[in-house]
Each structure stands twice: as C-alpha cells, then as structure tokens.
Amino acid sequence: MKLALALFGVALATQSVSAKGLTIEDMLAMQRVGDPRVSPDGKLVAFTVRDTDMEANRGRLDVWLVGADGSNPRKLTSHPENDSDPRWSPDGKYIYFMSSRSGSAQVWRIAIAGGEAEQVTKLPLDLNGFTLFPDGKRLALALEVYPDAKSLAETAKRDEAKDKSKVKAQAYDSLLFRHWDQWEDGKFSHLFLFEPMGPESAKDLTPGQLTDSPTHPYGGMEEISISPDGKEVAFVARASGKQNAWQTNTNVFLVPADGKGKPVDITSTNPGYDLNPAYSPDGKWLALTQMKRAGYENDRQRISVIELATRKTRVVTEAWDRSAGGVTWSADGKTIYTDADNVGNHSLFAIDVATGTAKTLVDKGTNNSPQIAGDRVVYTRDSLTSPVELYSVKPDGTDARQITHLNDERVKKITWGAFEQFSFKGAKGDTVYGFAIKPAGFTGGKVPIAFLIHGGPQGSFGDHFHYRWNPEVYAGHGYGAVFIDFHGSTGYGQAFTDAINGDWGGAPYEDLMKGLDAALAKYPWLDGSRAAALGASYGGYMINWINGHSDRFKALVCHDGNLDERMAYFDTEELWFPEWEHGGTPWEKPEGYSKHNPVDFVKNWKTPTLVVHGGKDFRVVDTQGMGTFTALQRKGIPSRFLHFPDENHWVLKPQNSKLWHEEVLAWIGRWTKK
C-alpha cells in the first residue's frame, strides 16, 4: 500500500464552510507564550515565545520582556538555538536562561538593558534545569549522572565511550527499563550546587543513591524550592525503589544547600504523590501538593503545609473538591494561588491558608502559572478561540487585563466557530457536561459531526486552545465539533473522576452516546447521519470499544489506542496505571482486564477506521495500533495505518503535525461527505 493519499475534500463542500476558519497552517503559525516570571520589583515579566519553524521542522524559543502593565513588549534573546527557562537575578538587572548556543544545554545570562548574552556554566554535561539562590550568586542545577560516578567528567567520559562503541546492546536487571519515549541508560537526575568560582564544576547535593531509586529530582524544576535564606533546598524524589514501575510514591526531601548534610525525607508517611514544594516567604512553612492514595496518579491533589520547625503537616484544601495545580504564595504568606480543572474550564483560585477557603479569581477559559506582580496576579490564559497570552488580575478577582497581544492580529483574521457548553443526564443519573461548536461562518443547514473523545482517561476537553486536538480546526473545515466530559473526567469533583476506575467501557461509553444524542436534540444543525468519532490514548481505546458496540458513526480515527488491555499491561512502562484502573495485575485480577476489552468485540467491527500510532510511544506501544489495523484489514473493513516512527504518544514535529491533520481530515471527509 502506498503511503501517499489522495486527500478527500480536506475542506468539505458544504454551504457552512468559511474560508476564514482556523486552518492547520493558522494553528501552527500561532506564537506560543509560556513560563512567565515576574521581576523582583513586580514591574516586568519575562516569558518565552515559541515560533514554529516549518522548514527546520521544529519550534524555536526566545525570551521576551513586557511591562506588567502590558507596556513595551520586546524580544530579549534571538538565537537559532532555543533560549528558555528565564529566571531573574535578585537585583532585577539580569535574566538567566537555558540555551544550547554553546553546543550543550547550559545557563546563560543577559542584561535587561541590552547587550550580548554571556555564558554562566560550562559543564561537561547538558543541564536539565536550574534555579537561582536568593543571593544571586549560586545556582541549583539538575543534571543526569551515573550514581556511582565520582565526577561530572566521569559521566561525560562514560557517555563518550558509549557513543563510540560499535556495540549498542542494553541490559537491564529491573524496571523501569524504558519510560515515555526513551530507553533508560543508567543515569539519574541529581541535584547540584553551582558556585561562580568554578564555572566548569558543581557539587552533587544528592550523591550516590538516596533510596533504592537514585532519582533526584523526580520531575522538572517545579519540584525544587530554595529556602528564603538560601540555606536549604527542598526537592522531590521517588521513594519506591525497585517498585517504581508500579508505585506512585514520591516524597519531599530537605538538604543543606552547602552539601554538608544528607537529605531528610519529611513526607515519608504519605503513600501517594508529594509534589510542588514551595517555601513560604518567611521560610517557616513549606507548601506542597499531595495525593493520599498509593498507586493512583489521578487522586485529588490537595494543598498541604508543613511547619518546618515541628515537621507537622496540615492539609489546607481537604474540603475543596478540586485537584490543585502548582503552589504560589502571596507576599504576606496568607494566600496560596493555584489552578485547577473546573467544569470544562481550568480556573485560577486563591486559597486562604488559615481556613482552606477557595475563591475563584478567573473562571472561564484555561488559566495557569499564577505569579505575584505587586498588587496584581499575572497568569497565562487561552480559550477555544485564542492561544495563550499573558493576563493580570487583582487578588480579589476583579479588573482582569490582557498584557501581551502577540496573536491578536492572527486571531482577528480567523472566523471562529461559535461554541456553547451544554449539560444532560448521563450515566448513573448524573449531570454531565459537553461542548458543541458550529462550523466557522455557519449560514444554516445540516453539517457533519466531528465527535472528539479525550484521553487520560482522567482528563478534560473544554475551553482550551489545543495544538493536537483543536476543535476549531474541525469547525474551520465545515464540521460541527462535539466533545463530552464523560465520567472519569477532571474538574467535576473526585467522585466523578473516580467513577471510571474499573468501568472503562461502562459509564463513559454511556455518557458519550447520551451526550451525542443530547447534542443532536439540542442543535438541529448537527447531522447525526454524518458523524465521525476521533480519539487518542484512552480516546483511542474508546474508538476501538465503540467499533465493537455501535455502528452509528460513518468513520473512526484511533490514535495511540489500546486494542487488548491484557497485552497492553505487559507492553507499557508505568504499571501503576493499569493496576489501579483494572484492580491489580492481569494474573491476579484477570476479570479487570477482560471486563471491557476491545479485542473481544472485534467480531462486531464494521466502521471504516484510520489508525495512527507513534513508534516511540512506550505508554501505548505501537503494536497495539498494528494489531488494530491487522484486525480491520483481515475483516475487510476500509482502513488505513499512519505510523510516525519519530513521534511518541503525541505528534509534535510541525511537519508531522501538518500531515496528521491532513490525513485525519481527509479520512473523515471521505466518509461524511454527502
């Protein structure tokens, strides 16, 4: 079979299509704003902007500056290599940032007054991340090293020997042996102290192995916090040892910043995730987020505070039925700002530390990364009809203002599909929410449907500008887009999220079918006889489940979806996920894996299906996609297999993304056209 495809009506020939609707090219051309960092005096905001370079087939990041009031936006760095992770010097005169402009990822800095950037670190290894100490002279660094290596140079020497060796074999004695899209190489992220007197050296604050698992820190630099006096560093590390593949337990450790003491575990009694440590402004408290249940990666994430003098922990948000994002303290230490999924939105909240009372600052849209800027809070915001820009709001939730306007002109040129949130009675008699979007430039009549199913499964499709599953792209090509936050979705309380555990093909499937029926009843412009369903990850699993249980769709698109839940357990890397969702291992709880297993219903399949998979997807391995395609072909069902050998669970490279959208739109267009 040839890979080339005659693209069937990527823009559908219906009276409702507008040439000004969002196109793939429009979406990829948007400038992506991120990582806002407010200056010490609260008057400026440093942030990154990602531009898409189609010819180079990658994104390019630069550091920008703008006044906290929106004045004088300007690009601070401009280099062919990515400049990212801006961080302010304490005096506000310099921006430190990460860049590979010297050939490896190192820390650089540039004066905000202008001039050339200068290199700060010159280490023999690439950096994973950094943050500044309050004195502005020292840096905390994360570097991947061999735990038994006595120096950075030794790790670099071993890497060089591996690269030169003609033998590329790998041997493993325990899990995890690969993760997400990379094979494990024996190195782990350690926390280092860098001081200005030695630009080519750094001191390991977490040498050797902390537990049976030498992982320091666990995640990114959001998992590291430095005390206000600069004497101590809090960081997150896995605490499960050889059980890392089937346990979620991470703990927060404290280590002296001078390296003269060993790390101390201060959250050992909590069996679930401990994440996002952040010192209070006075240094007396450490805030963090915690999940109580071991092995469950989607438990409610509570905000807790630890009194450092006594090590006593108090859960602040026990009564708040939302799952908190990050932690940002107010200047007076009385309020913690965070964000959370919230009924189809991702809202910004202010949490009273003393009482746990949550006040909504910004409700609609997708809002993230709150930062204190004087008497205002700076944050990022996007929506279905706008990519991310910077905004600010007063701490009482009034007077929201847009700070950056990088995409305003692009947004104005696009005719957006009008959208509306709706609700209906779903499974268990519960209220379930969804969205419906009209085609761009809709003028009447009946339109085909793009029925989008989110992954996770504990996730949400809501008022958000997405670069992989953007409903407005479908609206821009003549479709009415419909998506449902079925049982298991986040933002509706923990009980609603937990409802999917052990019930993958039950209540969620019922919600999806009832949700589409509700949309058809409420919006007469939707043509139920010309509907296509599309989903990725759990959404891909659901596509395979739908194919065995319904023939109401003219076409299906299965992206990175499981066919056989039994074998998927043995293929994947993070075993805690299927063990929680299906009640144990396949040999202990075989009924959990057979209860809703798509492979058992292949005999009922009949709907034309496009199968898409990434070759570097180690979460849902590409053999699942190959098996899906094989079954479709053997049954004589019109089908197509699109494989990206250089992509993981997501399709990220710009040219691959463009092809993905063209193929998907062509496939559903072929089967839903009149």
Could you please report the per-residue DSSP string of 529-561?
A: EEEEEEEETHHHHHHHHHHTT----SEEEEES-
- Alpha-carbon distance of 119 to 639, in angstroms, equals 53
Helix axes 538-547, 507-522, angle to 10 degrees: 80
User: What's the confidence (pLDDT) of residue 219?
Assistant: 66
Residue 4 has pLDDT above 50, yes or no: no
User: What's the confidence (pLDDT) of residue 218?
Assistant: 56
How large is the average pLDDT for residues 143-151?
Answer: 92
H-run or E-run covering 507? helix 507-522
Distances (CA, A) of 180 to 184, 505, 529: 10, 25, 38
- Alpha-carbon distance of 436 to 518, in angstroms, equals 11
203-212, 277-286, 371-380, 547-556: which has the minimum mean pLDDT?
A: 203-212
pLDDT tens-place string over residues 16-26: 444 489 999 99
9-13, 418-422, 494-498, 641-645: which has the minimum mean pLDDT?
A: 9-13
With a CB cutoff of 8 Å and minimum separation 6, the contacts of 401 are: 69, 70, 391, 392, 393
pLDDT over 90 for what percent of the chain? 91
Tokens of 663: 């193929």
User: What's the confidence (pLDDT) of residue 211?
Assistant: 55
How large is the average pLDDT for residues 87-113?
Answer: 97
The amino acid that residue 281 corresponds to is P
- Alpha-carbon distance of 330 to 327, in angstroms, equals 10
Task: For residue 437, give the 3-state DSSP assignment.
Answer: strand
Structural domain boundaries enclosing 588? 415-672
The amino acid that residue 255 corresponds to is V
- Alpha-carbon distance of 63 to 34, in angstroms, equals 10
User: What's the confidence (pLDDT) of residue 222?
Assistant: 87
Q: Cis peptide before 217, with omega less than 30 degrees from 0?
A: yes
Query: Which strands, in side-by-side order, build the sheet including 188-194?
Result: 127-132, 139-145, 188-194, 203-204
Q: Is the pTM of this model over 0.85?
A: yes
Yes or no: say if 619 and 572 are a contact pair by the CB < 8 Å rule.
yes
> Does a structural domain hold residue 544?
yes
> Does a structural domain hold residue 546?
yes
Distances (CA, A) of 446 to 22, 384, 482, 663: 20, 23, 14, 24
pLDDT tens-place string over residues 437-475: 999 999 999 999 999 999 999 999 999 999 999 999 999
- Alpha-carbon distance of 515 to 542, in angstroms, equals 15
How large is the average pLDDT for residues 567-581?
Answer: 98
How large is the average pLDDT for residues 367-383?
Answer: 98
User: What's the confidence (pLDDT) of residue 8?
Assistant: 35
pLDDT tens-place string over residues 200-221: 789 999 887 665 554 445 567 8
Distances (CA, A) of 7 to 102, 110, 121, 251, 476: 43, 48, 50, 51, 17
φ/ψ region of 63 (left if φ > 0, alpha if ψ in -120 to 50, else beta) reads beta
> Does a structural domain hold residue 427?
yes
User: What is the residue-averaged pLDDT of the chain?
Assistant: 94
- Alpha-carbon distance of 554 to 528, in angstroms, equals 10
Tokens of 476: 């821009």
pLDDT tens-place string over residues 293-319: 999 999 999 999 999 999 999 999 999
User: What's the confidence (pLDDT) of residue 268?
Assistant: 95
User: What's the confidence (pLDDT) of residue 207?
Assistant: 87
User: What's the confidence (pLDDT) of residue 217?
Assistant: 53
Residues across the chain: 674
The one-character DSSP state at 311 is: T
> Does a structural domain hold residue 343?
no
Residue 6 has pLDDT above 90, yes or no: no
How large is the average pLDDT for residues 144-171?
Answer: 95
Residue 395 has pLDDT above 90, yes or no: yes
Residue 5 has pLDDT above 70, yes or no: no
- CA gyration radius for the chain? 25
How large is the average pLDDT for residues 258-273?
Answer: 94
How large is the average pLDDT for residues 349-365?
Answer: 98
The amino acid that residue 398 corresponds to is T
Residue 7 has pLDDT above 90, yes or no: no
> Does a structural domain hold residue 306?
no
User: Do the bridges between strand 94-99 and strand 83-88 make them parallel or antiparallel, or are there none, so unpaired?
Assistant: antiparallel
Q: What is the 3-state secondary structure (H, E, C) of 249-298?
A: CEEEEEEECCCCCCCEECCCCCCCCEEEEEECCCCCEEEEEECCCCCCCC
> Does a structural domain hold residue 151?
no
- Alpha-carbon distance of 238 to 531, in angstroms, equals 45
How large is the average pLDDT for residues 384-403?
Answer: 98
Yes or no: say if 553 and 546 are a contact pair by the CB < 8 Å rule.
yes
- Alpha-carbon distance of 467 to 286, in angstroms, equals 35
User: What's the confidence (pLDDT) of residue 129?
Assistant: 95
Task: Output phi, psi for 609, to 5 deg.
Answer: -135, 135
- Alpha-carbon distance of 76 to 62, in angstroms, equals 7
> Residues 381, 386, 390, 393: is their CA dihedral positive or negative?
negative
pLDDT tens-place string over residues 484-531: 999 999 999 999 999 999 999 999 999 999 999 999 999 999 999 999
φ/ψ region of 665 (left if φ > 0, alpha if ψ in -120 to 50, else beta) reads alpha
What is the band of 13 on the pLDDT scale with cuts at 50, 70, 90? very low
Residue 37 has pLDDT above 60, yes or no: yes
Q: Cis peptide before 176, with omega less than 30 degrees from 0?
A: yes
Yes or no: say if 99 and 48 are a contact pair by the CB < 8 Å rule.
no
User: What's the confidence (pLDDT) of residue 20?
Assistant: 84
The closest alpha carbon to 376, from 94, 67, 112, 48, belongs to 67
How large is the average pLDDT for residues 146-160?
Answer: 95
**CATH of residue 471:** 3.40.50.1820
> Does a structural domain hold residue 83?
no
- Alpha-carbon distance of 172 to 184, in angstroms, equals 9
The closest alpha carbon to 215, from 289, 302, 150, 128, belongs to 128
- Alpha-carbon distance of 307 to 316, in angstroms, equals 12
With a CB cutoff of 8 Å and minimum separation 6, the contacts of 307 are: 284, 285, 314
User: What's the confidence (pLDDT) of residue 212?
Assistant: 53
> Does a structural domain hold residue 319?
no
Number of domains observed in the structure of the chain: 1
Tokens of 324: 């908190």
- Alpha-carbon distance of 237 to 220, in angstroms, equals 11
The amino acid that residue 610 corresponds to is L
pLDDT tens-place string over residues 606-629: 999 999 999 999 999 999 999 999
How large is the average pLDDT for residues 271-283?
Answer: 97
- Alpha-carbon distance of 157 to 138, in angstroms, equals 26
